[in-house]
Amino acid sequence: MKRQLHLLVIDPQNDFCDLPPDWLPTGDAPALPVAGAHQDMLRVAQLIREGGAGLTQISITLDAHHRYDIAHPTFWRTGDGGAVAPFTQISAQQVRDRLYLPAAADALPRALAYLDALEQAGRYRLMVWPVHCEIGSWGQNIHAAVRAAYNGWEVAKLQVAAKLSKGSNPWTEHYSAVMAEVPDAQDAATQLNRPFLDTLLPAQQIYIGGEAGSHCVKASTEHIADYLQDQQGPQAVARLVLLTDCMSPVTGFETQQRDFLSAMQARGARLATAAQVLPEWLANADA
């Protein structure tokens, strides 16, 4: 009897991939390349091509930002009016001390409320990232090999690979595929995405890869694990399989990915490589 096997690929987008020169169109380059991501995505694509017949569902998440965003340099200025460099962390206290301020003066109250809420949650401090995955840009597009692989799966299965957009609200960070870091009460797209999470509940195995393991994969998996546990008990976390050679950390955040993988393994999730899970997919195709 066929098992329900669900593949979830987090943000497999050009801006996160360290693409070689012959993969780059003239005039474009990844905004936030993660070392190792290109090879990660080639492994994801190969896994789908070789074993996709055994999958019952594929879901792809997509970062989707505006150029003006609270986590982009366009939003911020230094206290003396200078530009804020990418990879700057900003705290609520620094804003109160006027070391950093929103470029738009009237954004100050809302920005401070956001920073306070973010820091109270205790998951992240605000990071100013390079402008990335801008809606409509080449960088927002999916890695070509991954797209070709799931396109082939869609045609062969006569089924749609689900695509989930996240991050278009410029007032909150949205690392997780299923909920913004600080949900906006006026924006349903930032709230917990129960309809998507409910598509995961029937799966006997949920395989997760993507970029970056230190941030969006981490945040998404943590929320998914919490939801599975809430809905089906702690044992449900064991249905998660983290594809360790199909994700990489942002440079400088290697410890965050390592700690995340260890914590998920302690909760019951399985760590595996693409080569290790391929036989499971092939066996399910033949079932």
Evaluate if pTM is beyond 0.85.
Answer: yes
CA–CA distance, 25 with 113 (Å, rounded to integer): 40
Q: Which two tokens stand for residue 231?
A: 């809905």
Question: With 80 as the cut, is the pLDDT of residue 29 above it?
Answer: yes
Task: State the DSSP string of 202-254.
Answer: T-SEEEEEEE-TTTHHHHHHHHHHHHHHHHH-GGGGGGEEEEEEEEEPPTT-H
Q: What is the pLDDT of residue 254?
A: 96
13-38: average pLDDT? 96
243-262: average pLDDT? 96
Helices (H), 16-143: 37-51, 92-96, 108-121
**Widest CA span in the chain:** 66
201-229: average pLDDT? 97
pLDDT one-digit tens code per residue, 90-136 = 999 999 999 999 999 999 999 999 999 999 988 788 999 999 999 99
> Nearest CA to 177 among 5, 3, 13?
13
53-70: average pLDDT? 97
Q: What is the pLDDT of residue 27?
A: 87
The overall average pLDDT reported for the chain is: 96
| Dihedral sign for Cα atoms in the order 48, 139, 252, 165 | negative
Burial 75-105, CB ≥16 within 10 A → b, else e: bbbeeeeeebebebebbbebbeeeebbbeee
Q: What is the pLDDT of residue 152?
A: 98
Q: Is 78 helix (H, G, I), strand (E, B) or coil?
A: strand
**β-strands 126-128, 88-90 pairing:** antiparallel
Bridge partners, 89 (sequence order): 127
| H/E stretch holding 263 | helix 254-267
CA–CA distance, 3 with 203 (Å, rounded to integer): 8
Please, what is the angle between helix 274-286 and helix 37-51, to 10°? Answer: 20
| H/E stretch holding 165 | strand 162-166
Question: With 90 as the cut, is the pLDDT of residue 207 above it?
Answer: yes
Q: What is the pLDDT of residue 86?
A: 96
pLDDT one-digit tens code per residue, 144-157 = 999 999 999 999 99
What percent of the chain lies above the pLDDT cut of 70?
Answer: 100
26-54: average pLDDT? 96
pLDDT one-digit tens code per residue, 134-145 = 999 999 999 999
Q: What is the pLDDT of residue 124?
A: 80
- Phi then psi dihedrals of residue 126, to 5 deg: -60, 130
What percent of the chain lies above the pLDDT cut of 90?
Answer: 96
Please, which pLDDT band fits residue 263 given cuts at 50, 70 and 90? very high
Edge-first strand order for the sheet with 5-10 is: 162-166, 57-63, 5-10, 205-211, 240-248, 270-272
232-257: average pLDDT? 96
Question: With 80 as the cut, is the pLDDT of residue 1 above it?
Answer: no
